[in-house]
Amino acid sequence: MTTVLLYALGVLFMAVGVGVSIALHEMGHLLAAKRFGVKCTQYMVGFGPTIWSRRKGETEYGVKAVPLGGYVRMLGMFPPRDGRQVRADSTGRWSGLIEQARQDSQIDIGPEDSDRLFYQRSVPQRLVIMLGGPFMNLAIAVLLLAVAIVGFGVQEETRTLSSVSACVIPADVAEEVAGQSDSQICASGKYAQAPAAKAGLRPGDEIVAFDGEAIDSWGQLRERIRAAGGRTVPVAVERDGRRLDLTVTPVHERRPQLDSEDNVVLRSDGSPALVDVGFLGVSPTSELVPQPITTVPGIVGDSLWRTAGVVLKIPEKMVGVAQAAFGDAERDRNGPVSVVGIGRFAGEVTTAEGDSALPIGWMDRFAVLLSLVASLNLALFVFNLVPLLPLDGGHAAGALWEGVRRQIARLLRRADPGPVDVARALPLAYGVASLLIGMSVLLIYADLVRPIRLGG
């Protein structure tokens, strides 16, 4: 299969994933609204001209030309002022728009629909309706991550060697030689031969014992190597189905310090802290290792936390996107991307080949694609909880504020203040919508001219 075709399949997979995620998001709103008796006249995936639709019962289901979102049209999203329909106020542009929105919200309401309006539902019911979409995305993400983690696995470093260094390259010169191959660096003769190469270890060897102890994982082997600096120790490997007993003498080297979770410890200036440890000169291969279902909640929670961090820093990160798009700055690999960037990621995944020591198979690719769609749904979940119109969180915030007002009125023995007039927040909604459109355009442009690549 050609690289172009593989790339196109990856993009197609992600396009379908995005479309299905949007459709199910809107279905979350629709099912909840119908459950609580709200009349829904339209369920649409996309915006712009309708390219297909079909009416079933009281609802028109359809697909529109621009697949960048969707909506469910529910009757009575905005309550009329003082419970009555009024004429648009001509005293100001925004007032006119607000009144027009109220009137538009009343247009399709017939006498038979008088008790089927959104604003008439209780606060808890409106919260369920508006949060049904984001929580549908959360459910999709959990399901896909569970399939990817439990069914396929996560990448884990193994005891099998992917590479064996020819020489010992000190940590303080690593940046100077970055980009050069191992053979180019070692050919200069400035660096001593690496202990692993001297002992005869090869890529593909599986280390089963080190210093007289059986080895079960790469993490265990790394600890043994770091503790054996300056000592000659036995090492047992399996090569081509045969067991070989060798000896190695790890040298003392300054290498990055690791914490209890094997993360590099950083100094206050952001550079890695170095410690004197044993060094052998080997690197592990990675493979998918299925995980127990009990690991899914922790992985979902960690992913949600990281996604929320990106969403909360979007204004700051968009500055970096602009600097990269129109200047020489590098794109933040943990920053936001557009649908173009997501499609590029999928294409890179399906065309990735790895190398002879670490080949990438279809199982690996499919697991990563599932994880990408899951990540997209986590982003949709978090982003839609932002309490600003026109996002779902804005409507939820309006319902919560209404509940607070009514509780305060009840405690003070005052009359029910009635529904919150969410339509008054429309000027803010238009501003937020304009910002979102501008951000989308900027991200698409940045993903075209200065893309983030999975391979770095």
- Predicted local confidence at residue 68, as pLDDT: 79
Whether 26 is catalytic is yes
* Residues 299, 265 share a domain: no
Per the structure, the complete domain to which residue 386 belongs is given by: 1-35+123-153+290-456
* Residues 429, 388 share a domain: yes
Q: What percent of the chain has pLDDT over 90?
A: 47
Signed CA dihedral, 333, 338, 341, 347: sign only: positive
* Residue bearing the bigger pLDDT, 114 or 20: 20
SS3 state at 293: helix
For 208, phi and psi rounded to 5 degrees? -105, -20
- Predicted local confidence at residue 389, as pLDDT: 86
Q: How confident is the model over 381-425, as pLDDT tens digits?
A: 999 999 988 899 999 999 999 999 999 999 999 998 888 888 788
Paired with 274 in beta bridges are 256
Domains contained in the chain, number: 2
Q: Which amino acid is at 101?
A: A
- Predicted local confidence at residue 178, as pLDDT: 63
185: confidence class by pLDDT, cuts 50, 70, 90: confident
Residue 43 has pLDDT above 80, yes or no: yes
When mean pLDDT is compared over 56-70, 254-268, 349-363, the highest value belongs to 56-70
* Residues 275, 178 share a domain: yes
Of 44-48, 189-193, 210-214, the one with minimum mean pLDDT is 189-193
* Residues 149, 27 share a domain: yes
* Residues 161, 25 share a domain: no
Which of 26, 99, 253, 402 is catalytic? The answer is 26
The CATH number of the domain holding residue 280 is 2.30.42.10
* Residues 374, 297 share a domain: yes
Last residue of a domain, one of 288, 313, 335: 288
* Residue bearing the bigger pLDDT, 231 or 359: 231
How many Cβ atoms are within 10 Å of 298's Cβ, its own excluded?
10
Q: What percent of the chain has pLDDT over 70?
A: 91
Region 18-24 average pLDDT? 94
CA Rg, the chain, in Å? 29
Torsion angle in degrees (nearest 10) through CA of 314, 318, 321, 327: -150
Domain presence at residue 69: no
Domain presence at residue 8: yes
Last residue of a domain, one of 288, 321, 347: 288
Inter-residue contact 60 to 53 (CB < 8 Å): yes
* Rounded CA separation 148/370 (Å): 6
> What rounded mean pLDDT belongs to the chain?
86
Domain presence at residue 243: yes
Domain presence at residue 28: yes
Cis peptide bond N-terminal to 390, omega within 30: yes
Inter-residue contact 203 to 161 (CB < 8 Å): yes
DSSP state of 149: I
Region 110-117 average pLDDT? 88
Domain presence at residue 73: no
- Predicted local confidence at residue 264, as pLDDT: 76
* Residues 217, 138 share a domain: no
Query: Given phi > 0 = left and psi -120 to 50 = alpha, else beta, which region is 49?
Result: beta
CB-based contacts of 255, cutoff 8 Å, min separation 6: 171, 226, 274, 275, 277, 279
Residue 271 has pLDDT above 50, yes or no: yes
Signed CA dihedral, 384, 386, 389, 394: sign only: positive
* Residues 307, 279 share a domain: no
CA–CA distances in Å: residue 242 to residues 237, 238, 248, 260: 8, 5, 19, 34
* Residue bearing the bigger pLDDT, 125 or 336: 125
* Residues 195, 255 share a domain: yes
| 66-83 residues labelled b (16+ CB within 10 A) or e (exposed) | ebeebebebbbbbbbeee
Region 228-247 average pLDDT? 93
Region 123-150 average pLDDT? 95
Signed CA dihedral, 47, 21, 129, 381: sign only: negative
Give the Cα-Cα-Cα angle 128, 389, 424 (nearest 5 degrees).
Answer: 105
Residue 452 has pLDDT above 50, yes or no: yes
Domain presence at residue 59: no
CB-based contacts of 57, cutoff 8 Å, min separation 6: none
175: confidence class by pLDDT, cuts 50, 70, 90: low
* Residues 215, 172 share a domain: yes
Show the tokens assigned to 72.
Answer: 């469910």
Q: Which amino acid is at 141?
A: A
373: confidence class by pLDDT, cuts 50, 70, 90: very high
The pTM of this model reads: 0.80
Domain presence at residue 101: no
Inter-residue contact 243 to 265 (CB < 8 Å): no
Closest to 288 (Cα-Cα) out of 365, 373, 346, 342:
365
Domain presence at residue 271: yes
- Predicted local confidence at residue 355, as pLDDT: 54
105: confidence class by pLDDT, cuts 50, 70, 90: confident
* Residues 282, 161 share a domain: yes
- Predicted local confidence at residue 89, as pLDDT: 43
Region 35-50 average pLDDT? 93
- Predicted local confidence at residue 83, as pLDDT: 47
* Rounded CA separation 26/137 (Å): 10
Q: Which amino acid is at 104?
A: D
* Rounded CA separation 111/32 (Å): 23
Last residue of a domain, one of 272, 288, 304: 288
Inter-residue contact 38 to 30 (CB < 8 Å): no
* Residues 262, 333 share a domain: no
SS3 state at 385: coil
Residues in the chain: 456
80: confidence class by pLDDT, cuts 50, 70, 90: confident
91: confidence class by pLDDT, cuts 50, 70, 90: very low
